[in-house]
C-alpha cells in the first residue's frame, strides 16, 4: 500500500482547524469556581471541539481497536467522537475496546491473518511490528505542519532513524509520578514524600514495620512492572542499550539497580508483586493497602470515585533520584498503527488528524490522564493542573505534573525505541530479571548476565533483518 498523500488543500484546512481548536479552547484554566465538585465530576466546561471537512471525499469503513482506558469517561467520549466524525465524512466507524494486556496478541493474530482492524492503538511503543505496518511519515509530517514540533519522547517512540520509517503515530503520552499516602509518610517524617530511591527504601521499610502497609512496585509480566524496572535502572545509570543500539544491560549500574530492588522487595513488599496485573497497584492504592506506587493519576482518579478518604490522602512526587539520575518512564506512550492489510488507510489518517486537532478533549475526558505530544496543543493544561476541574483537594494537587516532560523519557533511552527494544519490552525480560534476584533464584549478577544474553539474542535477530543499526 502506498503512503497516504495529503494535498495542499488538506493542509490549509487542517491549519485552520488547529488554530480554531486553540482559539475555541482559550487559554483559561477550565477549572471550576467556588465550591468543591463531587469527586470525579467536572466543575469546568468541556473544550470546544472543531471539525473541518477532508480535502477529498471519504467512504467505506474504519475499524478501530484500542484499549479500555483506565479512566472510563474517556471511552464514552471517544466512541461518540469517532462515530460523529464518521457520520460527517461518510465513513462507517466502529470502535472495539479490549484489555490493554490483550492488545499485542490481538495485533499479532490480525497481522498473521492479514485482516482485522484498520487502526490500532497500544499504550506502549510497539516498533516490533514495523515490518507489518504502513509508513506514517506523511501523516507525521502533516501533523507537524499543523500542530508544531512533536516532543522528543514521542518521536523516539514512533520513528526508526535507521530505516527512516514512522512505524507509528504518537500524539500523546502519560506522565508517571510516584503516588504516595501522606498520612503514612508523615509518620516517618516525610510528609512531602520521598525524593530519592534511598528515601523510598528507608521510609517504606519504616512504614511497613510501624503500620504493616506495604509498597506496590511490581516485578511481573505487565506494563507497570516494565515501566518501574526501567525507571530504577536508568536512575542507577544502567540501560538496555546505548544511543547507537548497542546492548549495554550487563553493567555494574544495572547490577546495583537489581540489588536495590531486591532490598526493596524484602523490606517493603510481599510475594503478590510477582503476579500483579496492570490493575493491581491501582486496586491496592484505592483499598488503602499500599503506601507508595509508581503509576499515572488513574489510580488516584479511581480512588476519588471509590474511596474519597484515601484519595484526599494521595499526593504525588516527581521521578526519584538515584545514584546517577532521576528519570521516569512514560507510563503510557500512545502508538497508533495502520497494518499493511488495511484498505482504509486514508480514513485512518484523516481521523487521526481530526483526533489530534481535538486533543484538548482527549486530555479533558481522560481527566488529565492523556498529555499532548505537541506542546501547544492543549493550552488549558497548565490551568487545569493548577485548578483541577475534577475535584482534587487541594485543587492544585496535580501541579507536580507541570514539568513532567523534563523528568520523563522513552522506551529505549538513551536511544530510540526500535524493533529489538520493543520485543524486549513485550517479552518482559527486565521485570523477570528483577524477580529472579528478588526471589533468591539467582544473584543480582547472574540475573543481569542471563538477561543480557537474552537481550543480545533479540538485538542480533533484528540487526540481521536490517531494522536496527
Percent of the chain with pLDDT over 90: 88
Q: Is the dihedral of CA 131, 240, 237, 201 positive or negative?
A: positive
- β-pairing verdict for 290-294 and 178-181: antiparallel
pTM for the model:
0.89
| 345 pLDDT above the threshold of 90 | yes
> In the structure, what pLDDT confidence band is assigned to residue 42 with cuts at 50, 70 and 90?
low
Separation CA 311–CA 38 (nearest Å): 12
> In the structure, what pLDDT confidence band is assigned to residue 419 with cuts at 50, 70 and 90?
very high
Query: What would the mean pLDDT of 115-124 be, rounded to a whole number?
Result: 97
Phi, psi of 367 (to 5 degrees): 55, 45
Pairwise pLDDT comparison (177 vs 32), residue with the higher score? 177
Q: Give the lowest-confidence range in 8-12, 176-180, 272-276, 360-364.
A: 8-12
> In the structure, what pLDDT confidence band is assigned to residue 73 with cuts at 50, 70 and 90?
very high
Domain chopping of the chain, boundaries: 8-25+57-174+332-402, 178-329+419-464
Contacts of residue 119, Cβ cutoff 8 Å, sequence gap at least 6: 62, 63, 64, 65, 336, 337, 338, 342, 344, 348, 351, 352
Query: What would the mean pLDDT of 248-273 be, rounded to a whole number?
Result: 98
**pLDDT in the model for residue 56:** 86
Q: Could you check whether 8-25+57-174+332-402 and 178-329+419-464 share the same CATH topology?
A: yes
The CATH code that applies to domain 178-329+419-464 is 3.40.190.10
What are the E-state strand segments in 54-132? Answer: 61-67, 92-98, 119-122
Share of the chain residues as helix, strand and coil, in percent rounded to the nearest 5: 45, 15, 40
| 347 pLDDT above the threshold of 60 | yes
Query: What would the mean pLDDT of 201-206 be, rounded to a whole number?
Result: 98
**pLDDT in the model for residue 17:** 38
> In the structure, what pLDDT confidence band is assigned to residue 43 with cuts at 50, 70 and 90?
low
Per CATH, the architecture of 8-25+57-174+332-402 is what? 3-Layer(aba) Sandwich (3.40)
Amino acid at each position: 500500500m502506498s503512503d497516504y498523500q495529503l494535498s495542499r488543500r488538506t493542509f490549509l484546512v487542517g491549519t485552520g482547524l488547529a488554530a480554531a481548536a486553540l482559539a475555541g479552547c482559550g487559554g483559561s484554566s477550565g477549572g471550576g469556581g467556588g465550591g468543591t465538585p463531587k469527586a470525579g465530576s467536572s466543575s469546568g466546561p468541556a473544550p470546544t471541539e472543531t471539525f473541518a471537512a477532508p480535502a477529498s471525499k471519504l467512504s467505506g469503513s474504519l475499524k478501530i481497536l484500542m484499549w479500555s482506558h483506565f479512566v472510563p469517561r474517556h471511552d464514552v467520549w471517544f466512541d461518540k467522537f469517532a462515530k460523529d466524525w464518521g457520520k460527517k465524512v461518510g465513513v462507517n466507524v466502529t470502535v472495539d475496546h479490549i484489555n490493554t494486556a490483550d492488545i499485542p496478541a490481538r495485533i499479532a493474530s490480525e497481522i498473521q491473518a492479514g485482516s482485522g482492524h484498520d487502526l490500532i492503538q497500544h499504550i506502549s511503543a510497539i516498533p516490533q511490528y514495523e515490518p507489518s505496518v504502513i509508513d506514517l511519515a506523511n501523516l507525521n509530517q502533516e501533523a507537524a505542519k499543523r500542530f508544531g514540533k512533536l516532543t522528543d519522547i514521542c518521536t523516539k517512540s514512533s520513528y526508526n532513524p535507521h530505516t527512516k520509517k514512522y512505524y507509528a503515530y504518537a500524539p500523546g503520552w502519560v506522565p508517571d509520578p510516584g503516588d504516595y499516602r501522606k498520612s503514612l509518610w508523615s509518620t516517618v517524617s516525610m510528609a512531602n514524600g520521598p525524593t530519592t530511591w534511598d528515601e523510598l527504601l528507608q521510609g517504606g521499610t519504616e512504614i511497613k514495620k510501624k503500620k504493616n502497609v506495604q509498597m506496590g512496585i511490581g516485578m511481573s509480566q505487565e506494563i507497570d512492572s516494565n515501566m518501574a524496572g526501567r525507571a530504577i535502572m536508568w536512575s542507577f545509570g544502567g540501560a538496555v542499550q546505548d544511543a547507537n543500539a548497542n546492548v549495554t544491560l550487563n553493567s555494574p549500574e544495572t547490577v546495583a539497580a537489581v540489588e536495590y530492588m531486591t532490598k526493596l522487595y524484602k523490606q517493603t513488599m510481599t510475594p503478590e508483586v510477582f503476579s500483579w496485573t496492570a490493575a493491581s497497584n491501582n486496586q491496592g492504592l484505592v483499598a488503602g493497602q499500599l503506601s507508595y506506587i509508581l503509576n499515572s493519576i488513574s489510580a488516584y482518579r479511581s480512588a476519588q470515585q471509590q474511596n474519597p478518604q484515601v484519595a484526599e490522602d494521595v499526593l504525588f512526587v516527581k521521578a526519584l533520584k538515584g545514584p546517577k539520575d532521576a528519570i521516569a518512564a512514560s507510563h503510557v506512550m500512545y502508538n497508533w498503527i495502520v497494518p499493511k492489510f488495511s484498505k482504509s488507510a486514508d480514513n485512518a489518517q484523516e481521523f487521526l488528524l481530526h483526533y489530534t486537532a481535538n486533543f484538548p478533549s482527549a486530555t479533558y475526558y481522560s481527566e488529565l490522564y492523556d498529555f499532548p505530544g505537541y506542546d501547544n496543543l492543549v493550552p488549558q493544561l497548565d490551568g487545569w493542573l493548577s485548578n483541577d476541574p475534577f475535584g482534587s483537594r487541594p485543587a492544585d494537587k496535580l501541579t507536580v505534573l507541570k514539568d513532567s516532560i523534563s523528568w520523563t523519557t522513552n522506551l529505549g533511552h538513551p536511544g530510540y525505541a526500535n524493533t529489538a527494544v520493543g520485543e524486549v519490552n513485550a517479552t518482559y525480560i527486565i521485570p523477570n530479571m528483577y524477580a529472579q534476584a528478588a526471589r533468591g533464584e539467582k544473584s543480582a549478577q547472574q540475573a543481569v548476565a542471563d538477561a543480557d544474553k537474552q537481550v543480545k539474542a533479540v538485538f542480533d535477530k533484528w540487526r540481521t533483518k536490517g531494522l536496527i543499526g
